[in-house]
Amino acid sequence: MEQVVHNTVIGMDVHQSKLVCCAMWQAGHELKTEKKTFGTFRGEKKAMALWCASFHPDLVIMESTGIYWMSPYAFLEKVGIQPAVVNARQGKQMEGKKTDMGDAEWLAHVGRLGVFNRSFIPSALYREVRLHSRYLLRLTDELSAEKNRFHKVLAHAGFNLSVVFSDLHGVNAGKCIEGILAGLSVEEIMKTVKVSRLRKATPEQVRDALDGELTDRYRCILSDIQDHKIQYRLTSFIETEHPHALRLLQSIPGVSQKAAVRILIELGGKDLSPFRSAERLASWIGVCPGNNESAGKRKHGHIRKGNYYLRRILCECAHAAVRSKGTTFQSKYQSKRSKKGNKRARECNIFCVNPLSGRFTQAGGFNWDSH
């Protein structure tokens, strides 16, 4: 006999234009259901939240469909309900029986039995801050392309910086560009260049590369690329909320201030009790292989998608950590590189750079006071 974990459950199938809800509860020996469909405009979502609250449910379970679950989730929070968000594959009906209402009813049935994995959802504050953090990450990607276009315009104007600088996004190249836009002379620009850091060209060659002509039209095009100040606001927020945790993360080799800020934002602050262990967190991020065993034989387990943004940050930290001389990360990378190759060896370090490795207490919480 199936064991019921939650008596009154509401299953919700989320779509762009409608929310399909099914309330299911046990009344004596009879299993009762009530079904209703709502729209996705503000007034209808408010009515949906009040309709759900009227049942006093033990659980509200909903699909994590794209970004469409976020707004209904927020409305349910306002009426005191903390919904369980699950992967869409757990709410799909059998082929040939799949309907929107059927999915909602199946979710309610799954919720009553408790056979689902709840997704980690940070608080409303951190969900909003995370939007800024992820937007900044996208801007960083786009900024690299913009910088390449930037240097192409400079090349059109006769400034051949790519010939004399190995890194067009580096310090020396940046100072040269600032001087060009400010209308400084070649000699004035050369005073800001650190000659000791030149590797690709001599100072005379840099002078020749700066001998171009920047017209008002070119200056107008270049001035359109603006510097974004989102990172400063994110850092200020985390420094106010979790100053000790921010310093602690920066003590790990390879973890910069920018990376530490983004890690805390993606984790929803320092309340990490939902993960219970560093291994579970690594699985949620997607930096460890899955299990694929059959007939006693272990087969290749692919890495799951996980949290793309946090995994990307940890990958960058791992790349920086293996360059930190005299650290455990560098020695581990060098020992693994001969056996597994360069890429695999770096991947092994990603889990080690996981800031929570070895810091969970036996009670399942995270000890931020340990160092």
pLDDT, average across residues 144-169: 74
Note the pLDDT of residue 364: 42
pTM (two decimals): 0.66
Question: Is pLDDT larger for residue 203 or for residue 33?
Answer: 33
Residues comprising the chain, all counted = 371
Of 148, 214, 163, 162, give the one whose Cα is nearest residue 186. 214
Q: Strand, coil or helix: what is 8? A: coil
Note the pLDDT of residue 34: 94
Note the pLDDT of residue 197: 63
Question: Is pLDDT larger for residue 366 or for residue 88?
Answer: 88
Which of the four pLDDT bands, split at 50, 70 and 90, describes residue 342? confident
Distance of CA 316 to the CA centre of its chain: 13
From residue 255, give the alpha-carbon distance in Å to each of 143, 295, 318, 333. Answer: 22, 42, 8, 16
Question: Is pLDDT larger for residue 235 or for residue 11?
Answer: 11
Pick from 134-143, 254-263, 328-337, 339-348 the range whose average pLDDT is largest.
254-263
pLDDT, average across residues 183-208: 76
Q: Strand, coil or helix: what is 360? A: strand
Given a contact cutoff of 8 angstroms between Cβ atoms, the answer to whether 26 and 68 are in contact is no
Note the pLDDT of residue 61: 94
Note the pLDDT of residue 362: 40
The domains located in the chain, with CATH, are 9-113 (3.30.420.10), 126-222 (no CATH), 230-353 (no CATH)
Note the pLDDT of residue 235: 81
76: left (phi over 0), alpha (psi -120 to 50) or beta: alpha
Given a contact cutoff of 8 angstroms between Cβ atoms, the answer to whether 107 and 88 are in contact is no
Of 71, 70, 24, 19, give the one whose Cα is nearest residue 48. 19
Note the pLDDT of residue 83: 93
Give the single-character DSSP code of 196: G
Which of the four pLDDT bands, split at 50, 70 and 90, describes residue 77? very high
- CA-derived radius of gyration, the chain: 27
pLDDT, average across residues 169-191: 78
Of 365, 358, 351, 364, give the one whose Cα is nearest residue 271. 365
Given a contact cutoff of 8 angstroms between Cβ atoms, the answer to whether 96 and 48 are in contact is no
Note the pLDDT of residue 361: 40
From residue 180, give the alpha-carbon distance in Å to each of 146, 174, 201. Answer: 17, 10, 19
Given a contact cutoff of 8 angstroms between Cβ atoms, the answer to whether 246 and 238 are in contact is yes
Of 128, 141, 354, give the one whose Cα is nearest residue 233. 128
Mean pLDDT of the chain: 79
pLDDT, one tens digit per residue, over 239-250 is 888 888 888 888
Note the pLDDT of residue 28: 83
pLDDT, average across residues 148-165: 75
Please check the confidence at residue 43 and state whether its pLDDT lies above 90: yes
Note the pLDDT of residue 237: 83
Note the pLDDT of residue 330: 80
**SS3 readout for 78-128:** HCCCCCEEECHHHHCCCCCCCCHHHHHHHHHHHHHHCCCCCCCCCCHHHHH
Tokens 């299953």 map to which residue?
Answer: 11
Given a contact cutoff of 8 angstroms between Cβ atoms, the answer to whether 68 and 15 are in contact is yes
Note the pLDDT of residue 58: 94
Give the DSSP H/E element, type plus range, for residue 329.
helix 328-340
Note the pLDDT of residue 192: 79
